[in-house]
Amino acid sequence: MSRSVSLIAAALLLASPALAQDKVAVRKSPPRNYGVGQAATPAQIAGWDIDVRPDGQGAPPGKGSVKDGEKVYLEKCAACHGEFGESAGRWPQLAQGKGTLASHDPVKTVGSYFPYLSSVFDYIRRAMPFGDAQSLSNDELYAVVAFVLNLNDIVDDKFVLSKETWSRVKMPNENGFYDDDREKSEKAFWNSRPCMTDCRPPVKITGHAAVIDVTPEDKTPRKGGVE
Amino acid sequence: MTDSNDDTRTSRRRFLTGAAGLAAAGAAGAARAENPKNLPPNVADWSKHLGDGVAVRPYGHPSKFEKDVIRRDVQWLTASRESSVSFTPLHELDGIITPNGLCFERHHSGIAEIDPDDYRLILHGLVDRPLIFTLENLKRLPRVNRIYFLECAANSGMEWRGAQLNGCQYTHGMIHTVQYTGVPLKLLLEQAGVKATGKWLLVEGGDASGLDRSLPLSKALDDCLVAYRQNGEMLRPEQGYPVRLVVPGWQGNIWIKWLRRIEVGDQPWYTREETAKYTDLMENGKARKFTFVMDAKSVITSPSPQAPIRRKGFQVISGLAWSGRGKIKRVDVSLDGGRNWRTARIDGPVLDKCCVRFYAEAEWNGEPWLLQSRAMDETGYTQPSKDALRKIRGVNSIYHNNGIQTWALKANGEVENVEVG
């Protein structure tokens, strides 16, 4: 019996032991309404519904210019992300990195990696400034996103971001992603008869974690007791 | 941990210049000395005197002698502890269940402390009846109990370019396995009535990161749970108290903690967490997206760098294996770096999308071992070598490193994380 069917059967068992004996009846019966939970009002939903999609669905009213965004950014973002989005310390870098994705040292930023305007807008709207989430006004939000786009040379200095100008923003790496293809590209890993004996030539150690020595001191006993 | 992964190498250099030698100093000498006064023929202290009475420890803790069995973090990985990760001490555990207090943590804006009376879950979007649930509402609905592993997609992510962290707590500790009690997500969706156009869900957390991910409706209807208990008790705050999403077999990032909202839509949202993060960058600069499933993987937890061998002679080699595609079918163990393999013994339950515990017994007399384990799941997928993975993916993907781990056992019983070729 599949799990989903068994779940329904379990649910019905609680309500009606007689029905649960009959699997066919279980499958055909409409989902039970338990009368649990209240109707969510439009006002309740509106207060929490802050997601934005690539096509701009969900974007709030408001607008903000690159110029206004610079003020917000310098006041609320630059301490971690750097004045030019270069990152201060270990916080995420927001700008530069163009042309590095195929290199040995890829730098993933809004300009080099994010595929959609919404991916950055939605994130800042819900999670930034770090530790003071959802504190920006809609106009500040539009402005600071416009400024981050400008840091990445995606919009010019005069740009004003709003629902109306949303679709004009084209992110450079929009086509940089493709759907999970492991079942094709890694098909060779489906091998239920792996080699068991003499599978490879003698093995050499080519790298040591202890030599790199970045493991934290953690009081676990690492020395073997064997003389 | 991935928020500042780009900076890993520079941070490591800084760490090295600042703290060289510390690790070596701290690693030594943790073996405890015996006290002959407690050993036969003498009568031990605890055999003479009264101990604590009942309810002196109203919520029990492990023995004080187990105080080093704890989650640990790697501070150079991230810029702050509020957006960081701590690791499960796999080398100290056996069986398959992770004790609640040892389950690894991954937060994006710290731990939300939610008053259960003020907890609300809103379910809306392409539904017939938008609903809001209290915790009490959820607890009134029919519930199920399921044991699943939860693995962060970035588990072993620091090892793509070679052996780096010396201990399975750090290389593989972003995984835990507990029994969840909760309501099938399907049942909740049925209460609201999903419209025919509904294809994806946005699932969102109530912490200050509001972590949001797109979940295909098909998975939601298959085996996802809206859970409020782990191992019988209410979820720990670190694990999303009072309610988290359970997405069996899929990357941990989508198991939304502190679940506050589910919106039904007709397409994915492409949020930051499924674009800028949790996408797998390949060598050609293109990235795989929506790589939800965790591939079959295993690790030997003992012996391992934090669990060295103390005596020559008979040894029990022990480890964990898991697959996001179903049940584990078999685990093989090698002592010579993958030249020759033997099939390990699995002991305990073998469940869908759950860890299994495996054992292999062997005599050891000081010879150098290169220990490896190799998991196979019921779909026939067999855990690949790290080199086989790198050949396809390069070394920039951060996520989904399920390659075979090698531990080198030295003559003195010490174990080291090594790379073999």
Whether residue B248 is contained in a domain is answered as yes
Of B264, B288, B312, the residue that ends a domain is B288
Nearest to A112 by CA among A76, A80, A151, A168: A151
Same domain, A28 and A111: no
C-alpha to C-alpha distance for B398 and B53, rounded to whole angstroms: 50
Higher pLDDT, residue B276 or A217:
B276
C-alpha to C-alpha distance for A83 and A98, rounded to whole angstroms: 18
A:36-75 residues touching chain B, CB 8 A cutoff: 36-40, 44-45, 48-54
A:177-206 residues touching chain B, CB 8 A cutoff: 177-182, 185-186, 188-192, 194-206
Q: Say which residue the tokens 């050891």 belong to.
A: B364
- Work out the minimum CA distance from B5 to partner chain A, whole angstroms: 9
Closest residue of A to B110, CA-based? A131
Q: How many Cβ pairs closer than 8 A exist between chain A and B?
A: 364
Angle between helices B185-192 and A3-15 (to 10 degrees): 60
Q: How confident is the model at residue A213 (pLDDT cuts 50, 70, 90)?
A: confident
C-alpha to C-alpha distance for B78 and B75, rounded to whole angstroms: 6
Whether A116 contacts chain B with CB within 8 A: yes
Same domain, B276 and B183: yes
Closest residue of B to A115, CA-based? B275
Whether residue A176 is contained in a domain is answered as no
Q: Say if the Cβ atoms of B129 and A39 lie within 8 Å.
A: yes
- Work out the minimum CA distance from B362 to partner chain A, whole angstroms: 16
| The total number of structural domains that make up chain B | 2
Q: Which domain holds residue A77?
A: 48-168
Query: To which H or E segment does residue A4 belong?
Result: helix A3-15
Kindly list the residues from chain A whose CB atom is less than 8 angstroms away from the CB atom of residue B337: 203
Closest residue of B to A107, CA-based? B6
Q: Copy the structure tokens of residue A126.
A: 């819900």
C-alpha to C-alpha distance for B331 and B353, rounded to whole angstroms: 15
Q: Say if the Cβ atoms of A179 and B163 lie within 8 Å.
A: no
Q: Say which residue the tokens 């939800």 belong to.
A: B292
C-alpha to C-alpha distance for B333 and B357, rounded to whole angstroms: 13
Residue A163 predicted with pLDDT over 80: yes
Whether residue B8 is contained in a domain is answered as no
Distance between alpha carbon B121 and the CA centroid of its chain, in Å?
A: 26
Query: Among partner residues B76, B285, B418, which is closest to A205 by beta-carbon distance?
Result: B418
Nearest to B102 by CA among B47, B62, B152: B62
Which pLDDT does position A136 carry in this prediction?
A: 98
Query: Among partner residues B132, B312, B384, which is closest to A44 by beta-carbon distance?
Result: B132
Q: Say if the Cβ atoms of B420 and A197 lie within 8 Å.
A: no
| Strands of B328-334's sheet in order across | A205-208, B415-420, B406-409, B369-377, B328-334, B342-343
Same domain, A75 and A129: yes
Query: Among partner residues B78, B167, B283, which is closest to A215 by beta-carbon distance?
Result: B167
Which pLDDT does position B96 carry in this prediction?
A: 98
Query: Among partner residues B26, B284, B339, which is closest to A200 by beta-carbon distance?
Result: B339
Whether residue B90 is contained in a domain is answered as no
C-alpha distances out from residue A162 to A143, A168, A171, B52, B65, Å: 9, 10, 16, 66, 60
Which pLDDT does position B32 carry in this prediction?
A: 63
Same domain, A137 and A95: yes
Question: How crowded is the C-beta side of B70, counted as CA atoms within 13 Å?
Answer: 12
Whether A27 contacts chain B with CB within 8 A: no
Same domain, A97 and A155: yes
Whether A24 contacts chain B with CB within 8 A: no
Q: Which domain holds residue B387?
A: 297-418
Q: Say if the Cβ atoms of B140 and A36 lie within 8 Å.
A: yes
C-alpha distances out from residue B321 to B33, B93, B358, Å: 34, 14, 7
Whether A7 contacts chain B with CB within 8 A: yes
By the 8 A CB rule, do A88 and A74 touch?
A: no
The CATH number given to whatever domain includes residue A149 is: 1.10.760.10
Residues B235-272 pLDDT 10s: 999 999 999 999 999 999 999 999 999 999 999 999 99
Whether residue A99 is contained in a domain is answered as yes
What is residue B229's three-state secondary structure? strand
Tell me the CA end-to-end span of chain B in Å, nearest whole number: 28
Which pLDDT does position A221 carry in this prediction?
A: 79
Q: Say if the Cβ atoms of B288 and A181 lie within 8 Å.
A: yes
| The total number of structural domains that make up chain A | 2
The CATH number given to whatever domain includes residue B320 is: 2.60.40.650
Higher pLDDT, residue A52 or B9:
A52
Preceding omega of A54 cis (within 30 degrees of 0): no
Kindly list the residues from chain A whose CB atom is less than 8 angstroms away from the CB atom of residue B261: 48-49
Whether residue A183 is contained in a domain is answered as no
Per-residue pLDDT averaged across A41-66, rounded? 98
* Largest Cα span, chain A: 75
Which pLDDT does position A217 carry in this prediction?
A: 86
By the 8 A CB rule, do B87 and B98 touch?
A: no
Same domain, B379 and B353: yes
Of B288, B323, B340, the residue that ends a domain is B288
Whether residue B355 is contained in a domain is answered as yes
By the 8 A CB rule, do B148 and B249 touch?
A: yes
C-alpha to C-alpha distance for B343 and B358, rounded to whole angstroms: 10
The CATH number given to whatever domain includes residue B151 is: 3.90.420.10
Tell me the CA end-to-end span of chain A in Å, nearest whole number: 56
Q: Say if the Cβ atoms of B132 and A191 lie within 8 Å.
A: no
Q: pLDDT below 70 — which residues of chain B? A: 1-32
Per-residue pLDDT averaged across A11-36, rounded? 58
Query: Among partner residues A113, A210, A222, which is closest to B308 by beta-carbon distance?
Result: A222
Whether residue A177 is contained in a domain is answered as no
* ∠ CA B296-B297-B303, rounded to 5°: 155
Of B237, B254, B288, the residue that ends a domain is B288
Kindly list the residues from chain B whose CB atom is less than 8 angstroms away from the CB atom of residue A29: none
Kindly list the residues from chain A whose CB atom is less than 8 angstroms away from the CB atom of residue B336: 203
Q: Say if the Cβ atoms of A51 and B275 lie within 8 Å.
A: no
ipTM over 0.85: yes
